[in-house]
Structure 1
Amino acid sequence: MLNVEDIRKDFPILSREVNGKPLVYFDNAATSQTPQQVIDAIVDYYSNYNANIHRGVHTLSQEATDLYEQARQKIQAHFNAKHSYEIIFTSGTTHSINLVANGFSALLKKGDEIIVSALEHHSNIVPWQMLCERTGATLKVIPMNDDGELVMSEYDKLLSKNTKLVFTNHISNALGTINPIEYIIAKAHEVGAAVLIDGAQACPHIKPDVQDLDVDFYVASAHKMCGPTGMGMLYGKEEWLNKLPPYQGGGEMIAEVSFEKTTYADLPHKFEAGTPNIAGGIVFGTAIDYMNAIGFDAIAKYENELLEYGTQKLLEIEGLKIYGTSQHKTSVLSFNLEGIHPYDVGSILDKLGIAVRTGHHCAQPIMDYYKIPGTIRASFAFYNTKAEIDALVEGVKKAKMMLS
């Protein structure tokens, strides 16, 4: 059982006011808040270890390198990767996806097919469209239904000997739907296709096991997991990472350089050109330690309680419709009030100190499917409370009264 009041004390921002009201932060799907333990780790790095890594013989450089590589090992253990060098540090999920898409430019040709889902964030759509433009490959889409679920029978029909890659998110950022990625991965492998799973929305709620999933690539961002912005990771099976060419050229990613020829470094450095976000990498490990200390089973159980409570309370408001009604979903509620634009509701909620996200959530095809301009999205984390949900419900009622 989570002691939520004690956990909330770890997050300094949760004690502040917005517009004279206590902050209610329900935009966790966009970015989570940062506990003091992670903030302290950032300060500790810059106060005591700040130096470039992998290159120096001096003590600070060696200490910073050790901390950075220890963080890689923490992330390897968390995701159960077979080798630490299968974890590539990136600036975030978008960078990770683009790294893979760029690499496959050399592996695809006209007539090849790649599959994405209708539930994707733009960052898991646009790079693949760009890849198709470069290679002549064809992009196909797994359709969705009214509950916000992928239609697996249609996915089966899309697969063929021409399918080379399949991409889907683990959890929809716009609707909270948990996708059947085990099935998606297994079926793709039957036709010899590789699979990339966008785990940005899953990793705050679920502890993925990449070996158990048998996934080829898995990507995530630290800032969704109580860590810093500008930091993420790409997991890739060793054999796939060895097939892909480097994404960027520069320092660190080389073995030897001459004006005639350059040879590339071994994994993971082949994909990590230039000075990285050293502090970000180190404290990504700190954030994972923090969340594991709380426990992902306890987090999932509590967040499901918040989801059920919030669903029940919001649906008591006449004219309110929730989008994304899958039985398998996480703590995201996307909704609208009949006849009222979501932006207007979000603006009133902000005046009450309640932070929600409004708009298409970088998932415009989902909104087009429902024929709506966007939704109001309240996304809950393990440090939120039922009392905050009550404040949201009262705020929505007030917005409805003012705007109707």
Structure 2
Amino acid sequence: MTATEHQGLDVEAVRADFPILSRTVGEDTPLVYLDNAATTQSPTSVIEAMNEYYRTYNANVHRGIHQLSMEASIEYEEAHDRIARFIGAAGREEIVFTKNTTESMNLVAQAWGREHLEPGTAVVLTEMDHHASLVPWTQMAERTGAEVRHIPIDDHGRLDLERAAELIDDDVEMVSVPHVSNTLGTVNPLSTLADMAHEHDALILGDGAQAVPNRPVDVAALDVDFYAFSGHKMAGPTGIGVLYGRESLLESMVPFQFGGGMIERVTLDGATWAELPWKFEAGTPPIAEGVGLAEAADYLDHLGMDRVQAHEEQITQYAHERLAERDDVTVYGPPPGEDRGGLVSFTLDGVHPHDLSSILNEAGVAVRAGDHCTQPLHDCLGIPASARASFYVYNSTEEVDVLLEGLDTAREIFA
């Protein structure tokens, strides 16, 4: 019995749910898809749920009283309920649908930050933050005169919590932290950082883009004030993201996008806003994508998020150990364990990550190469770029072996 079977996740059965995995690339080479931290693939059930919307009840929501509009409205509203249950939120009022994690984090920076940041206040980020967190808060700080501070990482790619405790003081209004680093794979102690923030009456925003797809997440247990993630990283469609926010906070915030769908009453001189969460969803929302996202949550819950996490940890441990055996590879981030997510970033001596990715592509292996939208982190690591292999429910140790064979090919080419 394999470790995967012992955990109850039948990878071959799971792979059959994802039609794209049967395709080939190049000259009929089997696809080995290891770029899941960028975008996961979608199962047939998600694709069909969205097709069903377009085939049978395609209409705008909250706009009409005809049958199709009512059916679409019900499905779209229930999608909010489904995602609330998936992450442990109190209800749909705390779930705002956006385009992606980036828009969710911009929403908080704009709608909350512009009202609460000013000279003498501070925002605390980390050296491992994605650009989707770094840039919105840096831009808002420039506009408001607030200070931006950064929690450093240690030699193992973990946050320096002692330094964090020093940086989070009474001047801090917001702490924004990746739950799981998209480059190092580090699983950060979000609830511990939430305690630090709340001790100083600050709020905390969790970037859950690399966490929600891969492990059980309960926003109430984490005690976060805001939490953001994307559908396309959790077997769902592109074009939809989620912002969780405490209802009292969302209620107090003024929207940063205005127009149809988010208003209660409009006059020539002003407007009042619709109830939550609709006041933050201006214009025609991502209806089909919401339907698909709800189906993705159903699919992952059917697999079991505990099993999803266990499978990713097993694959990551195998990949990490095999890469670490090589004297021509440097692996970044903490070793496998409870504080490491399902990805491995590395460099191969003498081979630029872009060249390595191209060579791997010839073997059918899809990885990411570059700075992974974490340029400051790569500056801290002293490298311009890295290659990243990231795993999901349909990946196997055999696919990791194909990756390793590709490294041998690259080594021969650049010898």
TM-score (norm 2): 0.96
**Equivalent residue, structure 2, for 1:355:** 366
In 2, the alpha carbon distance for the partners of 1:388 and 1:256 equals: 56
Q: 1:249-290: CA deviations, max 9, x gaps?
A: 101111111112211111111101100110001110000000
Which of residues 271, 274, 292 is equivalent to 1:283?
292
How far the C-alpha of 1:317 sits from its partner, in A, is 2.4
Superimposed CA distance per residue, residues 217-269 of structure 1 (whole angstroms, 9 cap, x where no aligned partner): 01110000000001011000011112211111101111111112211111111
Amino acid in structure 1 at the alignment position of 2:404: V
Partner of 2:115, secondary structure, is coil
Kept after mapping to 2: 8 A contact 1:165/1:194 = yes
Report how far residue 316 of structure 1 moved: 2.5
Cα deviation code 1:120-141 (max 9, x no counterpart):
1100100000110111000000
Return the letter of the residue paired with 2:19.
P
- 1:33 & 1:228 partners in 2: Cα distance? 9
Alignment of 1:147-296 (within 5 A): 147-296=156-305
Structure 2 residue aligned with 1:15: 22
Judge which range, 234-243 or 192-201, deviates more: 234-243
Q: How does 1:274-353 map to 2 (within 5 A)?
A: 274-326=283-335, 327=337, 328-353=339-364
**Alignment-mate amino acid for residue 161 of structure 2:** M
Letter in 2 for 1:154: R
Flag structure 1 segments of 5+ consecutive residues without an equivalent.
none
> Which residue number corresponds to residue 53 of structure 2?
45
Q: Secondary structure at the match of 2:60?
A: coil
Partner of 1:25: 33
CA positional deviation for 1:315: 2.1
Q: Specify the SS of the correspondent of 2:258.
A: coil
Structure 1 window deviating more from structure 2 (323-332 vs 33-42): it is 323-332
Amino acid at match of 1:351: E
Q: Does the CA-based 8 Å contact 1:120-1:169 persist in structure 2?
A: yes
Q: Say whether the 8 Å CA contact 1:317–1:397 is kept in structure 2.
A: no
Gaps of 5+ in 2: 1-7
Mapped partners of 2:270, 2:231: distance in 1: 36
Which has the larger displacement, 6-15 or 327-336? Answer: 327-336
1:109-120 equivalences in 2 (<5 Å): 109-120=118-129
- Give the Cα–Cα distance (whole angstroms) in 1 for the partners of residues 122 and 202 of structure 2: 10
Deviates more, 1:219-228 or 1:78-87: 78-87
Q: 78, 86, 91: which is aligned to 1:78?
A: 86
**Identity, % of aligned pairs?**
45
Instruction: Verify the 8 A CA contact 1:228 1:283 in the aligned structure 2.
Output: yes
Moved more, 75-84 or 46-55: 75-84
Provide, for residues 377-402 of structure 1, a one-character-per-residue CA deviation record: whole Å limited to 9, x for no partner.
00011100111111111111111111
Give the match for residue 142 of structure 1: 151
Distance in 2 (CA, whole Å) between partners of 1:106 and 1:305 is 45
Q: Which secondary structure state, in structure 2, belongs to the residue aligned with residue 105 of structure 1?
A: helix
Contact 1:320 1:335 in 2 (8 A): yes
What is the aligned partner in structure 2 of residue 58 from structure 1? Answer: 66
- What amino acid does structure 2 have at the position aligned with 1:17? T
In 1, are the aligned partners of 2:116 and 2:173 still within 8 Å (CA)? Answer: no
SS at 1:310 equivalent: helix
Alignment of 1:69 onto 2:97: no
With structure 1 as the length reference, what TM-score do the two structures score?
0.99
Q: Match for residue 364 of structure 1?
A: 375
2:96 aligned counterpart, secondary structure: strand
* AA at the equivalent of 1:354: V
| Partner deviation per Cα, 1:76-97 (whole Å, 9 max, x = no partner) | 1111111211100111100000
- The equivalent position to 2:384 in structure 1, one of 348, 373, 385, is 373
Secondary structure of the residue aligned to 1:365 is: helix
Alpha-carbon distance, 1:151 to partner: 0.3
